[in-house]
Copies of this chain bind each other. A is one copy, B any other.
């Protein structure tokens, strides 16, 4: 295509903006932006298709900065491209409530696709975006209508490369033959501890070949723009493999400290910035300057992108004529609306129905709604038969060449890769056409803690089907029995942790999970059978907490979740028969949702004047917020048949009754006992 001085000027502009912004904020990472400015310019100005005036165009090329600490690179580009990011926003880099935080945040900044920074996450998000593209293409493209064919580009550095999550994601991406995924590896030989030869000497190119990737190498990523472009185009042409470009660059290119870790995580010194500006032909006395020619070539590129989107819209109009249903479906999905009346398919139960394990109840939900909610795309981290995450008619999402499924398949075989699964779900959700869910044992959602945290922070609707939710899993033993897991994710802001007690609560969990567009859910499900409860209805359960068993003049409220609610109900009779005590029972399947109810309602569930006892077979942490006393398991579990294990730890009607009696006794002389729902002040939210 031929590169000119204006291209070089643009590249140096980006480098200097990164130096200026980190200097002004006295914090941040100038090195990677300065090293990757050339490839970023080639990509954003010559290669990618996007319309900066509409950052939600579904067929735009996606860009993910997995080395998110290099965010000044992304912010500079978004500004040049014409996204809603002003020069003042760049000047506010890393200041409170700016659009330019220390790492890119998708919900804050126009044009940022996913929230990155925690290393390896962005790369796995990119795999998710590429899966979503291939899947949407498989579903919506028709002969003559290639509606969905965008590329996903991802920058990543040595840090991402070392993280296990990136290995998992690379392996599954290779298996899935994601031809539209192009990762660009900033091979600058520097990480925070110095030269990568101190800890990272593997052959990265060979490793990616072993995963089934196509690999290109660019020897001079600092200057050879044509080689960068050629490599990207070669990768675009490889349609049956994801591609990785090993791009050799010098970190902090142009700085007096270029090529050292001195430019990685600290601003350049004032005199260094001056020499940089002088060397690049900029006025050393000015900051935050973009030459008009640079704006011009980006404006031109933006206009091309707008035209491309317009063409695409015309194609979609034509498509709507011949493929009416698909067009309407795509439109609906992109608007984020569920199909009208879908919730009528949620199963409902009555207490006379047979007891069922909640993992099975979850399977029944998926079986019942998969047809009416076509955007539901799920999978499991190699525990399909245990998580029960697959509806009977499901087709696997697989490259047709494997003979195991096709691109429109809605069931993903994630392999034993929980962390990547979590981050891939974040990418899937970010694409816009899919609602992802993924299964594993509750205990192993912890392997994916880094990804779940970003689901919550970036406000993504991802759903974890987390079976084998307690010591009730039995013989697998303490290595597999969660104790701290619910407390962990309940403490995470904007994350719904559900632990349904029966059929209607399971349906409610799915209802709220699917209708909460900006919050991830973890649905903790039992391996053992559970009875259906008397007051459990969809409308009660979607409040997050409700009275399962009411009683006049109760001596105590027993509050529980999941498999223990049924035992608590049995304890009511035991308490009456053996201790002449009257107990009410409350189920709180989801703290986050219960907390959002009006105080009046919460007080009706957990009223003043009655002592309360929580019962849950895991850490009691967090239960003090709802109950006066707590019966739980603040130790590891045991390997054995589930009934033996429950008995060992006294999670039986007798065991509960023993603690209930102690609780009643302990509070009998306390006048005007307050419900823990009453607080002295409101928390900041």
Residues of A within 8 A of B (CB): 25, 27-28, 68-69, 94-98, 101-103, 105, 115-119, 158-160, 162-168, 171-172, 174-175, 191-193, 197-204, 206-207, 209-212, 265, 380, 382-386, 396, 398, 402, 404, 413-417, 419-420, 443-444, 446-447, 449-450, 453-454, 456-457, 474-480, 483-484, 487-494, 619-622, 624-625, 628-636, 638-641, 644-645, 648-650, 658-659, 662-663, 665-667, 670-672, 674, 676, 678-681, 683-685
Bound complex: CA A206 to CA B213 (Å): 13
A493 touches B487 (CB 8 A): no
A636 touches B479 (CB 8 A): no
B192 touches A116 (CB 8 A): no
- Residues in B neighbouring A676, C-beta threshold 8 A: 624
Contacts A203-B209, A456-B636 aside, 7 further interface pairs with beta carbons under 8 A come to: A27-B474, A97-B640, A175-B202, A197-B404, A449-B488, A483-B493, A650-B684
CB < 8 Å neighbour of A476 from B103, B449, B492, B672 = B103
Bound complex: CA A163 to CA B416 (Å): 6
Distance between A491 CB and nearest chain B CB, rounded to angstroms: 4
- Residues in B neighbouring A413, C-beta threshold 8 A: 193, 198-199
Bound complex: CA A631 to CA B681 (Å): 9
B621 touches A490 (CB 8 A): yes
Distance between A193 CB and nearest chain B CB, rounded to angstroms: 5
Bound complex: CA A631 to CA B69 (Å): 31
A118 touches B480 (CB 8 A): yes
9 A–B pairs (Cβ distance < 8 Å), ordered by A: A97-B638, A97-B640, A101-B478, A103-B476, A197-B402, A199-B382, A449-B488, A484-B492, A667-B680
Q: Which of A175, A198, A415, A480 is packed against the most chain B CB atoms within 10 Å?
A: A415
Bound complex: CA A221 to CA B396 (Å): 32
B662 touches A162 (CB 8 A): no
Bound complex: CA A649 to CA B163 (Å): 33
A382 touches B487 (CB 8 A): no
A117 touches B480 (CB 8 A): yes
Given contacts A162-B417, A479-B116, A488-B487, contact A662 B680 (CB under 8 A): yes
| Nearest 10 Cβ contacts at the A-B interface | A164-B164, A624-B624, A96-B640, A101-B639, A666-B680, A167-B167, A199-B415, A102-B477, A487-B491, A117-B479
Bound complex: CA A662 to CA B492 (Å): 26
Q: Smallest CB-CB separation from A198: which chain B residue?
A: B413
- Residues in B neighbouring A27, C-beta threshold 8 A: 474-475, 641
Q: Smallest CB-CB separation from A384: which chain B residue?
A: B193
A191 touches B416 (CB 8 A): yes
Bound complex: CA A488 to CA B485 (Å): 7
Distance between A19 CB and nearest chain B CB, rounded to angstroms: 16
Distance between A197 CB and nearest chain B CB, rounded to angstroms: 7
CB < 8 Å neighbour of A193 from B163, B380, B457, B475 = B380
A212 touches B201 (CB 8 A): yes
A210 touches B199 (CB 8 A): no
- Residues in B neighbouring A478, C-beta threshold 8 A: 101, 105, 457
